[in-house]
Structure 1
Amino acid sequence: MPSSNSSIVQQPVRTVFFISDGTGITAETLGHSVLAQFGVQFNEVRLPFVDTLEKVHDAVRRIDDAFEKDGTRPIVFSTLVKTEFAGALQSSKGMQMDLIKTFVDPLEHELGIEPAHAIGRSHNIANSIEYENRIEAINFSLAHDDGQSHKNLESADVILVGVSRSGKTPTSLYLAMQYGIKAANYPLIPEDFERGKMPSVLAPFKEKIFGLSISPERLAQVRNERRPGSRYAALDNCRYEVSEAEKMMRTEGIHWMSSTAKSIEEIAVMILQEMKLAKRSY
């Protein structure tokens, strides 16, 4: 009798191109969101700053070479703003996903306004003040990482608390870089648990505090990568710290969530929602 898996066809590895006249972050972000829906392995090729016709023709050659090598059409996610460049790219043997055309054409029809088709236009939307605010937020988060400084906490938009290695630092920096949020973070340590209350320096800013927790098993794994075999990384110690931290946050009435199975992006969005932080830098 044939195996139940005999009808499953192994998909060939496909080549995916992310092509942009800028950094390519938009093409990659949208492309990855779409590709994540399919259980197929991809070879990724990034071609940023394709801002001349010569570079577009070079991209076409690379796409066609991938077609000849793989025997399947490469998938092309592009955000080329200039119509001339986007049209030249269409001559390649790739399966085209023109992300600019997908959204700009319907909006042009709806708004009754002809788009500018100007390279770098998206970077001019945010003015210099907004850019400076984002840089200021990054510097603030770096200066207030892991409780390094208690100065100017009144300027913080949010103060993240939690046990060591629960995800406070990457979340703080992500909030600063992506949203211009001034995020400080402060570790909860055994001395805090013995006192049974939040560090006194944070007391005046309770309404700004948001807690991050993590499963003890995951915490032990992360800590063992940093300090293998230490008491700091021992599972029983991790269980104690997590339990005490969560109990303290419940007692203090602080909003908190577990970071165990969530990405930094998901954590950041939940913090923005819970703390009602609508500030964005672009």
Structure 2
Amino acid sequence: MQALTTDGRAVSSRRSAYFVSDSTGITAETLGNALLANFPGFAFVRHTVPFVDTPDGAANVVRDIARDAGAGLAPIVFTTTKDAAVSSVLAAAPATIIDLLGGHLTELEGALGTTASEQLGQFHTLGDTTQYFARMRAVEYAIEHDDGQSSRALDIADVIIVAPSRCGKTPTTMYLALQYGLLVANYPLTDEDFPTDGLPRLVAPYAARCFGITTTPLRLSQVRHERRPDSRYASLAQCTLELRRAEDLYRRNRVPFLNSSTKSVEEMSAVILQTLRLRT
């Protein structure tokens, strides 16, 4: 498989992508993948290498990179290592090295009039314990209120996600809880909730905090077939009916909603935060 450069030259579209970090690798992986997503014509063989905090550890990574380079995979290396000795070893690798922190840290040092801390992995440490425990509480709340299992303390929910089964309620709920510490409940719309003009009794008092999710009938049918193959629950007709009723319900009650079929959990969460003005 080949991709084309901007001047029309054909190049191999199969590349190695390394995410190298002196901590968990989450930052390198997230930022690196965000950049790679802009080049859909390439197939990347991804390697996340965390806790590379010594020159010897870096040398081991360089050997792996060299092996891939020898196999024609033209490696690209995204790094978030802060130690100069480690970075120096990585810089010698036969690859394109993209330092995701270097230039930006220098700019921040200049702006703040001080040097960056040399302590490793500070972004993913426990940090603010108050914030950490708030996120843990939010996760517990999300688990208790998943799929309408509990009506307890719905009055303190930041968001109540309402949607037919398998539209993406639970992963979105958990992401908002873990990433932002929000108290999020979700409620599944079922046949018992129709016909009705208003929202289901359990969530009706909190309509201002409700957010709806929909999808396409075909996508919903495919997802449901994985759970209950050849069932009425997964049939295209049933999925079409449920989605139409749900969208009518959202519109009648002025509940904002989005289609999850082409959006990631991160994108959906961002829309919910913005729509309900929950950004801090």
TM-score by shorter chain over 0.5: yes
CA contact (8 A) 1:162 1:186 kept: yes
Provide the residue aligned with 2:129 in structure 1. 128
Once the two structures are TM-superposed, the CA of residue 157 in structure 1 deviates from its matched residue by 0.9
Once the two structures are TM-superposed, the CA of residue 154 in structure 1 deviates from its matched residue by 1.5
Provide the residue aligned with 1:61 in structure 2. 63
Secondary structure at the residue paired with 2:20? strand
CA distance in 1, matches of 2:55, 2:88: 10
Provide the residue aligned with 2:10 in structure 1. 9
Provide the residue aligned with 1:79 in structure 2. 80
Provide the residue aligned with 2:52 in structure 1. 50
Provide the residue aligned with 1:277 in structure 2. 278
CA distance in 2, matches of 1:264, 1:199: 25
CA distance in 1, matches of 2:20, 2:136: 27
Provide the residue aligned with 1:4 in structure 2. none
CA distance in 2, matches of 1:91, 1:28: 21
Provide the residue aligned with 1:257 in structure 2. 258
CA contact (8 A) 1:82 1:118 kept: no
Pairing 1:145-224 to 2, within 5 Å after superposition: 145-224=146-225
Partner letter of residue 203 of structure 1? A
Once the two structures are TM-superposed, the CA of residue 208 in structure 1 deviates from its matched residue by 1.0
Partner letter of residue 49 of structure 1? F
* Paired residues, number: 272
Specify whether residues 44 and 162 from structure 1 end up closer, same or farther in structure 2 by C-alpha distance, changes over 3 A only. Answer: same
TM-score normalised by the chain length of structure 1 = 0.91
Pairing 1:223-242 to 2, within 5 Å after superposition: 223-242=224-243
CA contact (8 A) 1:193 1:245 kept: no
**Range with greater deviation from structure 2 (82-91 or 169-178):** 82-91
CA distance in 1, matches of 2:96, 2:234: 49
> Which of structure 1's runs of 4+ aligned residues deviate more than 4 A?
none
CA distance in 2, matches of 1:154, 1:204: 9
Once the two structures are TM-superposed, the CA of residue 68 in structure 1 deviates from its matched residue by 2.2
Specify whether residues 274 and 65 from structure 1 end up closer, same or farther in structure 2 by C-alpha distance, changes over 3 A only. Answer: same
CA distance in 2, matches of 1:231, 1:124: 47
Partner letter of residue 64 of structure 2? R
Secondary structure at the residue paired with 2:206? helix
CA contact (8 A) 2:139 2:178 kept: yes
CA distance in 1, matches of 2:103, 2:184: 36
Partner letter of residue 161 of structure 2? L
Summarize deviations over 1:98-157 as a string: whole Å, max 9, x none: 111031112222322211122022235841110111111111111111011111111211
Once the two structures are TM-superposed, the CA of residue 189 in structure 1 deviates from its matched residue by 1.0
Specify whether residues 218 and 118 from structure 1 end up closer, same or farther in structure 2 by C-alpha distance, changes over 3 A only. Answer: same
Summarize deviations over 1:211-247 as a string: whole Å, max 9, x none: 1111112111111121111111111111111111111
| Larger relative contact order (CA 8 Å, sep ≥ 6) | 1
Provide the residue aligned with 1:37 in structure 2. 38
Secondary structure at the residue paired with 1:181? coil
CA distance in 2, matches of 1:109, 1:155: 43
CA distance in 2, matches of 1:173, 1:260: 18
Provide the residue aligned with 1:88 in structure 2. 89
CA distance in 2, matches of 1:200, 1:143: 19
TM-score normalised by the chain length of structure 2 = 0.92
Secondary structure at the residue paired with 1:119? coil
Secondary structure at the residue paired with 2:202? helix
Uncovered stretches (5+) of structure 2, i.e. residues with no partner: 1-7
CA distance in 1, matches of 2:124, 2:34: 22
CA contact (8 A) 1:13 1:43 kept: yes
Partner letter of residue 62 of structure 2? V
CA distance in 2, matches of 1:229, 1:58: 51
**Range with greater deviation from structure 2 (250-259 or 49-58):** 49-58
CA RMSD of aligned residues (A): 1.7
CA distance in 2, matches of 1:131, 1:152: 21
Specify whether residues 37 and 118 from structure 1 end up closer, same or farther in structure 2 by C-alpha distance, changes over 3 A only. Answer: same
Secondary structure at the residue paired with 1:200? coil
CA distance in 1, matches of 2:63, 2:218: 49
